[in-house]
Chains A and B, each alone.
Chain A
């Protein structure tokens, strides 16, 4: 058989170290001017795709994909610096895409680009929905393995160890399939300077949502975005006896 034709969708999100600010009107999180990075789980996806190739699993090509504002190009360049061969960017400035819409878009790209393996992050750290991979698998009628901590490919058989409540479970599927990555899957590499330079020459194709003719109208309306209740620290104690005393006082012991 021919090799893996991998697609890795990546999302540009507020950097994981930063705390989001909620706007005064309580309609949204204001992330303008704050540092953005590739969603951490998507770095794991790229890394895994590149490692499959390095493990001599036949890989025809690795396509990085992102839908979002022009600045998403940066994360696609990062993906290529990490080892993706080319990138596809659906440029969309205004519409905040929902997982179902993204999954529909991805399903179309999978068909256009004749993919047989899609590796996605298990969730994006902004919306925290954790839906896109499963939705994509459902739309395509493909197998899915979520929260992968180990992926083995042999011919067209894929064995995936998944993180589940209380431990791990292992499932086996045949290509084509969708995998979502968990933190334990690998340790993403840093893009080296020469690779960053090389990535600038790799092909990056831009398209518009309209090119796909998919109805991506939003299903969810934001009513409001608010601050979580603030917790106030109760102060410090001097020693272990003080700790025990305070726990008793609070009824926790």
Chain B
């Protein structure tokens, strides 16, 4: 029975990957013929909902070529697995039903991922460079004795990846000599795969049932109706020029609402307590690449530019005409933001 189902899956996989390759020739088809490439995409779920941005891992798998398998784990995971099975380009979803994985605690999650990598013989393991991916993947890499490659912007070959270093002031192309590539993805460089059109097989994964050595106690998330910062089409961002939390709250949310934008902040604004930590854009905060990045009272330190300079259009309001932000802004307005921001808000609303 087992033999039969394996054989059937393999036949199905071959048929399907032939079709896929015909429709979308892989960048590395040559090499994928020489060696079987297979991606494991680590998919995030939260309270039974698939995190769409984690589907960037599927996109990366398509670029490498070969087969793509997704992995999800947690309680009542079947529904998430079924949702993930519809993702375009995925051939199999491995699911692990166990509430111990709900909070993504790396102490037990990493050994579980490692067991499934070993069992599946995957060549590439992709996850988002999100809080979850950042905490999990290096632990997985260490357990497999692999040097991970973090926050990649592009894939140039099955072994070759491009990533920013020095706050994005240099771009490093690096070739991995490890047998397994463990890679985290810059969300703004890899759009999520479509959640429609796929019909992946479901398969129960290996569960080593390692006890988590940490206990998850609580969380406090900023809930808002605004678009999520890292995926928003427009971002309105405030900096130290706002002078206080009161002024930030008075001026920035209405401006963001007028544009239908997410709210961001510079590190200076976050450190001064004007805005929540989770809104920080920059080297050590979030990376954004919206269609419009509009900032007020931000000077444009290199650490901040690292997180937003891939935006399509950058607009800046700053009273200092020499501020470095104007060197990258497509449109700059030298003005006191306390006058310009309310005026802009009013005029855009109309």
- A13–B37 alpha-carbon span in the complex (Å): 37
Q: Which residues of B contact A66 (CB under 8 A)?
A: none
Q: Which residues of B contact A56 (CB under 8 A)?
A: none
- A98–B228 alpha-carbon span in the complex (Å): 33
- For window 151-197 of A, CB contacts with B under 8 Å fall at 159, 162-174, 182-184
Tell me the smallest distance from the CB of B228 to a CB of chain A, in Å.
Answer: 8
Determine the main DSSP class of A at the interface with B: mixed
- For window 120-142 of A, CB contacts with B under 8 Å fall at 122-123, 125-139, 142
Q: Which residues of A contact B132 (CB under 8 A)?
A: 164-165
Q: Residue A205 at the B interface, CB < 8 A?
A: no
B175 x A223 contact (CB < 8 A): yes
B222 x A167 contact (CB < 8 A): yes
Tell me the smallest distance from the CB of B152 to a CB of chain A, in Å.
Answer: 11
- A191–B205 alpha-carbon span in the complex (Å): 52
B219 x A167 contact (CB < 8 A): yes
A253 x B110 contact (CB < 8 A): no
Q: Which residues of B contact A182 (CB under 8 A)?
A: 277, 284
B331 x A165 contact (CB < 8 A): no
Given the interface pairs A100-B146, A219-B146, A223-B175, the reply to whether A128 lies near B334 with Cβ below 8 Å is no
Contact with B along A208-231 (1 / 0, CB 8 A): 000000000011111111111001
Q: Which residues of B contact A137 (CB under 8 A)?
A: 106-107, 139
Given the interface pairs A227-B170, A250-B331, the reply to whether A170 lies near B219 with Cβ below 8 Å is yes
A169 x B216 contact (CB < 8 A): yes
Partner of A138, one of B139, B340, B348: B139
Q: Residue A20 at the B interface, CB < 8 A?
A: yes
A236 x B347 contact (CB < 8 A): no
A139 x B142 contact (CB < 8 A): yes
Q: Which residues of B contact A251 (CB under 8 A)?
A: 313
Q: Residue A33 at the B interface, CB < 8 A?
A: no
Contact with A along B124-142 (1 / 0, CB 8 A): 0000001110111111111
Q: Which residues of B contact A45 (CB under 8 A)?
A: none
A-side interface size class: 35 or more
Q: Residue A4 at the B interface, CB < 8 A?
A: no
Contact with A along B107-135 (1 / 0, CB 8 A): 10010000000000000000000111011
Q: Which residues of A contact B314 (CB under 8 A)?
A: 231
Q: Residue A244 at the B interface, CB < 8 A?
A: yes
B169 x A19 contact (CB < 8 A): yes
A225 x B170 contact (CB < 8 A): yes
B333 x A236 contact (CB < 8 A): yes
Determine the main DSSP class of B at the interface with A: mixed
Q: Residue B41 at the A interface, CB < 8 A?
A: no
Contact with A along B308-337 (1 / 0, CB 8 A): 010011110100010000111111111100
Partner of A220, one of B176, B291, B302, B330: B176
Contact with A along B45-66 (1 / 0, CB 8 A): 0000000000000000000000
Q: Residue B220 at the A interface, CB < 8 A?
A: yes
Tell me the smallest distance from the CB of A142 to a CB of chain B, in Å.
Answer: 8
Given the interface pairs A168-B277, A171-B215, A240-B340, the reply to whether A135 lies near B166 with Cβ below 8 Å is no
A100 x B142 contact (CB < 8 A): yes
B178 x A134 contact (CB < 8 A): no
Partner of B174, one of A165, A223, A228: A223
Q: Residue B218 at the A interface, CB < 8 A?
A: yes
- A100–B147 alpha-carbon span in the complex (Å): 6
Name the residue among B138, B219, B348 with the largest chain A CB count within 10 angstroms: B138
A250 x B330 contact (CB < 8 A): yes
- A9–B285 alpha-carbon span in the complex (Å): 22
Q: Which residues of B contact A146 (CB under 8 A)?
A: 134-135
Q: Residue A145 at the B interface, CB < 8 A?
A: yes
Q: Which residues of B contact A168 (CB under 8 A)?
A: 219-220, 277
A246 x B175 contact (CB < 8 A): no
Tell me the smallest distance from the CB of B211 to a CB of chain A, in Å.
Answer: 11
Partner of B106, one of A99, A144, A224: A144
Partner of A134, one of B135, B146, B276: B135
Q: Residue A149 at the B interface, CB < 8 A?
A: yes
Q: Which residues of B contact A232 (CB under 8 A)?
A: 328
Tell me the smallest distance from the CB of A30 to a CB of chain B, in Å.
Answer: 10
Provide a sorted-by-A list of 13 A–B residue pairs whose CB atoms are within 8 angstroms.
A19-B169, A125-B283, A128-B283, A130-B151, A133-B138, A134-B137, A146-B135, A168-B277, A184-B277, A227-B170, A234-B330, A239-B333, A246-B315
Binding site for B on A (CB under 8 A): 14, 16, 19-20, 22, 29, 41, 98-100, 103, 122-123, 125-139, 142-147, 149, 159, 162-174, 182-184, 218-228, 231-244, 246-247, 250-253
| Contacts A137-B106, A243-B315 supplied; 19 other A-B pairs, CB < 8 Å | A14-B166, A126-B166, A128-B151, A134-B135, A135-B141, A164-B131, A164-B278, A167-B276, A169-B216, A171-B216, A172-B214, A173-B213, A226-B171, A231-B314, A240-B344, A243-B340, A246-B315, A247-B313, A253-B348
Q: 10 smallest A-B Cβ distances: which pairs?
A: A138-B142, A134-B138, A219-B147, A167-B221, A135-B142, A131-B138, A234-B330, A138-B139, A169-B219, A223-B173
